[in-house]
Structure formats: C-alpha cells, structure tokens
Amino acid sequence: MLKSFVLFPIVAVLSVSTQAATLPGDAANGKKLYDASCTSCHNDSVHTRKDHKIKSLEGLTEQIHNCEHMTDVTLGKTQVNDLVKYLNETYYKFK
C-alpha cells in the first residue's frame, strides 16, 4: 500500500518528461531565435490569447513557415524544430 503511494508520483513525473523529450529540437535555442526574428510583428501574447489559432503541432509548424515567408529570415529544419519545441513547451503543450 505504502509502496504504490510512493511510486505513483515518480511514474507520473517520468512519463511527462519522456513526452517532452520526444520532440526534436532545442527549446533554449528556439527562444533565442524567437527573440531575434519573430518579435518584430507580434510578441508572445499571440500564443496565449484566448482564441489563438494553433490547435496542433502540425498547425504550429505550418504557421511558423507562414510567418517565415513574411520575413527576410530563412529558417532551416533544425531552427524550425527549435522554434516548435520552444513554443510548444512554453505555450501550447500539444502532445
């Protein structure tokens, strides 16, 4: 009885961190990219507003490409992964 009380939180914590780790990319680098290339048109409030548009990881990736086309910045696959990871971990929390 006591054992399952002790084990449950450990299992819960482990499964959460495994999920976050399955996304490729580097969130810290994503934040740097975001601050450098993305804040000229909007700040992070677009991601937290109540009626935000993005509903999935695919949608997030697509929107990053749409925004990329509006800028002079060209993002490589690694950079897009970093941005997806940063925005997902910080705001969207899609699985």
Burial class (CB in 10 A: 0-12, 13-18, 19+), 51: exposed
Q: Does 38 bind ligand HEC (CB under 6 A)?
A: yes
Q: Which of 85, 64, 90 is nearest to 75 (CA)?
A: 64
42-81 positions binding ligand HEC, by CB under 6 A: 42, 46-47, 52-54, 60, 63-64, 67-68, 70-71
Other beta carbons within 10 angstroms of residue 15's beta carbon come to 9
Q: Which is nearer to ligand HEC, 19 or 40 (CB)?
A: 40
Q: Which residues bind ligand HEC (CB under 6 A)?
A: 34, 37-38, 40-42, 46-47, 52-54, 60, 63-64, 67-68, 70-71, 83, 87
